[in-house]
Each structure stands twice: as structure tokens, then as C-alpha cells.
Amino acid sequence: NSCVSDKGIHFVYTHNGGIKYALSRPDGSIIKQDKVIENEGAGCTLPNVVSINSEVYAIYIKNNTINVAKSTDLGDNWNTGYSSYNLINTNCNALVTLLEDDHVHITWSENRTSWGTDVHYVGFYYNNSTKWNYYKRVTDVESAGGEMPAIALSQDRVHISYKTSSLFAKTRDMYRSNNTWQSSS
């Protein structure tokens, strides 16, 4: 996964169950590479990255939780215990993040307790390691659940898109004014 900031292009990637970080210039020249966030064999998957000023946040799955590692020096050193959020069930197969102002929108899909998968959403406020808000099982309106989530933003809504098990593309929106969810469409 990658993101762009005024510091360059940030990359996070898995390597033998660990997570590493790299930073490059827009022309592709490497500033730093192979900075270890989590050691090999740690059981990490689905890394994402967002960056604000000189802070970098790696967001990934480990031990059935969404983990947030924080670096305040552009990836040279990492606090891997910065924050975490327990998954609802197991077997997360997709994790998508999107930075906006003071928080990160996070959506993921994982197995249901019986059959199928569900798409979930939560907001993480990066300046407060304990502030996770607005959790929602987005596909609670779908009898067969959903997977392959994506996030889009508009002026008054957060849009979570997904694929249903019957292969329909749907979206469900959260109104920013009161954090309520509308029906899927």
C-alpha cells in the first residue's frame, strides 16, 4: 500500500509475515527502504499507510486486530503498540484506509460467525490512540453479507461500497451531520 505526502511517497509491505516501510521521491529515487515495523514471522497482513507531516501510521491486521504503528520520524522508528481495534469475528480478507483531516476512515471485510462475510467501518482519530468512533457493520442490511469494501468521501457523506455474495455492487452512506447510516443502494 502507498500514500503521498509532501515528504514523498510512503510504502508499507509485508515480508515473510512482517511489515516494512519505504519512502521515495516522486521521481522514484529511494530515500529509505526496508525499515522494519514488525519482524518477520509476526503474522501481519493487509498493510495500509497514511502520513501527516512527519508522522506515518501503518495500519494492518495482526492477531485478529487492526493494529496501528506510529512513526514520528518518517519511518526510522516505530511504536507498534500505538493503538489497536479488535476485529468482530475472524479471517479479515480486506482492509482499506483513507485519511481525512484529523482521522482515518477504515473499512474491512471478515467472516461471519455462521457463513459469508461482512463489511465493517470505523473511524480512527490518530492524535488520540484510544479514540475509535462510529463503528458500523455496514452489511447488516444484507442477508448474505458483502466483501471487497472501498471508501469514498463527499461533502456530506462517507460512502462505503462493497460486493454482495450475489455479485451486486452496492454502497451504503453515513451522513456526516449526525453519523447515521442510510439504506444500501
Which residue's C-alpha cell is 481495534? Answer: 85
Q: What pLDDT shows up at residue 129?
A: 84
Residue 67 near residue 59 (C-beta atoms within 8 A): yes
- Encode 130-147: b = buried (16+ Cβ within 10 Å), e = exposed: eebeeebebbeebeebbb
Q: What pLDDT shows up at residue 79?
A: 97
In whole angstroms, what is the distance from residue 23 CA to residue 87 CA? 29
- Nine-digit cell string for 58: 501503518
Binned at pLDDT 50, 70 and 90, residue 166 comes out as confident
Q: What percent of the chain has pLDDT over 90?
A: 85
Q: Is 138 left (phi over 0), alpha (psi -120 to 50) or beta?
A: alpha
Give pTM, 2 decimals: 0.94
| Model confidence pLDDT, tens digit, residues 69-97 | 999 999 999 999 999 999 989 899 999 99
Residue 97, helix vs strand vs coil? strand
- Nine-digit cell string for 112: 461471519
| Model confidence pLDDT, tens digit, residues 19-74 | 999 999 999 999 999 999 999 999 999 999 999 989 999 999 999 999 999 999 99
Residue 184 near residue 170 (C-beta atoms within 8 A): yes
